[in-house]
Amino acid sequence: MSARTGYDVIVVGGGPAGVSAAKAAAREGVSALLLEKYPTIMANKPCGEAVSKETLATAEVKPSPRIVMHEAYALVYSPSMIEVEIPQIGYNINKSLFIQEIAAQAAEYGADIHVREEVTSVARENNHLLVRTARGVYVAKVLIGADGYNSTVARGLGVAERPEPIPTVQYIMANCRLKHPDAVRFYLGNRIAPGGYAWIFPRSERLAEVGIGVRGGVAKEYLDRFVSLFSDELGNAKILDYRGAPVPIGGVISETVFDGAMLVGDAAGHVIPLTGAGIHSSVAAGLAAGKVAAKAVLEEDTSKQRLSEFYKLYDGWLTRIRKSLKAMRALEKLSDEDLDTLAHVLKADDILDLANGLDVARVAKKLLAHPILAMKLARSLL
């Protein structure tokens, strides 16, 4: 590589946000480079891999059997194991193949993709950003930081703020005897998972992702305790994979658009707080950022003001993230007894609206009619 290689748009990080950003930028006809530090574009971080059907539509990825490992409805459990069924079908995907499919689209639109090339620093020079890797220095007209929670790009841009994280750990377990092989299960409660939840997401009848997110405790200890509650299903299971990572659940950080640069995905806090789901919102953020970046380059105006069109394109998601955060803040104050009461009152649609930051006001109005939940929950949701 020459001392400095220029690109219109450089995207750092080959996760769901980064591959989507590279694809969207290249589709607009500008030169785009995707840099990924690991040797493979794939799900390099642990993930439950559960998504809505709409996620694949947003990503323009066909729900082929190669990518959709399993279709599942959902079961949500209160601390006393009151079960609420959510019949809507979602997907457990092979996230690596999903990301690779989007990366392939990016390549077909002309994006360059470099794996095993970690960005070590980012600096400003005049109107451009210099992106330094072990192989050399690149110059970007617009730089998109899609490099996850510990974003090097954010640091290089002088962003000290980080989205509030919840530590998570997850096992992939084999030889399970799942009672509900066609359901993703969520378990709530301060005894089970304070400030978060535990999950069992089947990949097949015998293989499952079993994980937990916990605030104010050691996630691994809570996970082992959770697994031991299911000796009939998980007693003979063997752990094939044990990894953890922080999930940014505190909402979007104050500034994600700068002169010549944007942050997207986990790096920006583009995660639905109550569920910790970030695949769909990251893909959407990447697509919006890549498109805006390319248009800005073509118009020769990569100022912060021009790139702020991102906020307009992503507004629906920003609203959902805000509403889901509000619901999370209200729910985290509830005792286990209150959560049990809630499980008697909420129906599937209510849970979906609350968790996904959709019609939270409708659920709040419904809860206003309840003698206890009106005071404890409804008012803070409104």
Residues at the site binding ligand FAD, with contacts judged by CB under 6 A: 12-18, 35-38, 44-51, 118-119, 146-148, 152, 168, 170, 211, 245, 247, 265-266, 271, 276-280, 282
Other beta carbons less than 10 A from residue 248's beta carbon: 24
**Which one, 30 or 69, has the nearer CB to ligand FAD?**
69
Strands (E), 102-232: 112-114, 119-125, 128-133, 136-145, 165-174, 183-187, 197-202, 208-213
The closest alpha carbon to 350, from 337, 326, 330, 366, belongs to 366
DSSP assignment of 301-369: --SHHHHTHHHHHTHHHHHHHHHHHHHHHHHTT--HHHHHHHHHH--HHHHHHHHTTSSHHHHHHHHHT
The residue assigned the tokens 């803040």 is: 329
**Which one, 13 or 189, has the nearer CB to ligand FAD?**
13
Shortest CB 333 distance to ligand FAD, Å: 24
CA distance 184 to 71: 9
**Which one, 148 or 260, has the nearer CB to ligand FAD?**
148
**Which one, 27 or 280, has the nearer CB to ligand FAD?**
280
Burial of 344 (0-12, 13-18, 19+ CB in 10 A): exposed
Shortest CB 319 distance to ligand FAD, Å: 18
CB 276 within 8 A of CB 168: yes
**Which one, 313 or 382, has the nearer CB to ligand FAD?**
313
H or E stretch at 294: helix 279-298
Contacts of 219 (CB under 8 A, 6+ apart): 167, 168, 169, 212, 213, 244
Other beta carbons less than 10 A from residue 116's beta carbon: 13
Shortest CB 374 distance to ligand FAD, Å: 32
Shortest CB 146 distance to ligand FAD, Å: 5
Shortest CB 278 distance to ligand FAD, Å: 2
CB 70 within 8 A of CB 92: yes
**Which one, 270 or 376, has the nearer CB to ligand FAD?**
270
Shortest CB 360 distance to ligand FAD, Å: 19
CA distance 96 to 148: 16
Helical segments of 109-265, H only: 152-156, 219-228, 231-234
CA distance 153 to 147: 7
**Which one, 311 or 336, has the nearer CB to ligand FAD?**
311
**Which one, 49 or 350, has the nearer CB to ligand FAD?**
49
Shortest CB 20 distance to ligand FAD, Å: 8
**Which one, 163 or 377, has the nearer CB to ligand FAD?**
163
Token duo for residue 294? 């390319």
**Which one, 97 or 368, has the nearer CB to ligand FAD?**
97
Shortest CB 366 distance to ligand FAD, Å: 27
Shortest CB 46 distance to ligand FAD, Å: 4
Shortest CB 218 distance to ligand FAD, Å: 15
Calculate the alpha carbon distances from 241 to 16, 147, 193, 343 in Å.
21, 23, 21, 32
The residue assigned the tokens 């007693």 is: 235
